[in-house]
Amino acid sequence: MKFVCSKESILNEIIYSMDFTSQRNSLSVTSNVYLETSNDRLIIRATDQKLGFNTEIAVQTLEEGSTTVFCERFLNILRSLPEADIQFTSENGMLAIKPVNQSIDFKLRTITSEEFPSLENIGENQYFSVSQKVFNDMANQTIFAISEDETRYFLCGLFIERSSVGINLVATDGRRLSIVERRFEEELPTFPSVIVPAKFFIELKKLSNEEGLLNLCITDNLIFAKIGNRNFYSTLIKGQYPNYRRVIPESQSYSSTMRIQDMLDALKRVSLLVENKAKRIFLDISEEGVLLTSDESEMGEAKEIIPCKYEGPTSRVSLNFTYLLNPLKVMEGEFFSINFTEPTRAMTVKPDSERDYYHIIMPMQPNA
């Protein structure tokens, strides 16, 4: 195998490929990236057996063939090279890397391409299209609420379901829930409700340019995505996702409205003196405003009051401050509301405008 291409064109794709390789075992073929050239095209593949990635770029093919090479070391070499065309030659179990007209010469050991696992594939006509930006925004509004408890593996991903008008995206760790119910004007096919690992959305964000369309295909076992010449997929999380609708309050008696930025700034300051593992703060909600208080500790205590619009009895809510901080960081608009009936029952946090997302937070018990 022999081909020539610019450093920039191959470097970009190897950077993306790196995230899809198995990085725990450098001796495994899944820690390698697959390279195959013919007809002046270079096919690049990577997989860790749970996620897979493939793309292709234009090159000058001098000799057709294929090989695999340790991705991390290959990437580091490419980054170190000057901006120039590079010639790659695979022979005798080595990949020679030599910038054209430069006195630089690297050689990397290879593993034969026959040992590289096959990637999953799906027919072109099974994809449907949505806006890259819209789909990424949906993930941004929910991904922080997924569980990190691997014993409850079915909560360690985002739940995607087809609604009558579009797509719902849901995340919960059992103590909070975030949901986006997005309407799509495009005609969408029916697909099974699935649980998608968070890494799929992390890689999607890296590969997206926030413009144009994202092509998706969802099956019982896999989710596929395509952006331009880049294709990737992920296996799904198996398990029964809980009936999240059961924790969404049908109605709530009281609503306190305040500026998003006021609460964000106050949370960041008051949390400086939060020491307990539960990350607890108190919100005293009254018609005079919302008083934020940290737990008193050996280090001291922090208090801050912010203005709000509220009619109702004075109520003290105890909660993990990150459960409020995370959604506010990505919430759009100027104002938001905290809605509740009792201080110890589920609270709904939502933007004070016609948005299609909201968040449910379970408060702590006052004496917990």
DSSP label of 237:
B
Does 367 reside within a domain?
A: no
300 and 334 assigned to the same domain: yes
Picking from 245, 267, 296, the residue at the C-terminal end of a domain is 245
290 and 352 assigned to the same domain: yes
The pLDDT of residue 367 is 67
254 and 283 assigned to the same domain: yes
pTM: 0.92
**What is the extent of the structural domain holding 159?**
124-245
Q: Tokens in use for 153? A: 């593996």
Q: What's the CATH number where 43 sits?
A: 3.10.150.10
Looking up tokens 């996702």 gives 241
54 and 104 assigned to the same domain: yes
What is the CA angle 208-213-217, rounded to 5? Answer: 90
Picking from 115, 133, 159, the residue at the C-terminal end of a domain is 115
101 and 145 assigned to the same domain: no
Does 237 reside within a domain?
A: yes
128 and 239 assigned to the same domain: yes
Contact 41, 58 (CB under 8 A): yes
d(CA 295, CA 300): 9
Please, what's the b/e burial string for 299-323 (b: 16 or more CB within 10 A of its CB; e: otherwise)?
A: eeebebebebebeeeebebbbbbeb
Does 366 reside within a domain?
A: no
The pLDDT of residue 210 is 79
Does 368 reside within a domain?
A: no
d(CA 285, CA 282): 9
Picking from 245, 262, 287, the residue at the C-terminal end of a domain is 245
150 and 215 assigned to the same domain: yes
86 and 44 assigned to the same domain: yes
pLDDT 10s digit of each residue in the chain, 368 long? 999 999 999 999 999 999 999 977 667 899 999 999 999 999 999 999 999 999 999 999 999 999 999 999 999 999 999 999 999 999 999 999 999 999 999 999 999 999 999 999 988 889 999 999 999 999 999 999 999 998 899 999 999 999 999 999 999 999 999 999 999 988 899 999 999 999 999 999 999 987 889 999 999 999 999 999 999 999 999 999 999 999 999 999 999 999 999 999 999 999 999 877 789 999 999 999 999 999 877 778 899 999 999 999 999 999 999 999 999 999 999 999 999 999 999 999 999 888 999 999 999 987 65
Q: Coil, strand, or helix at residue 154?
A: helix
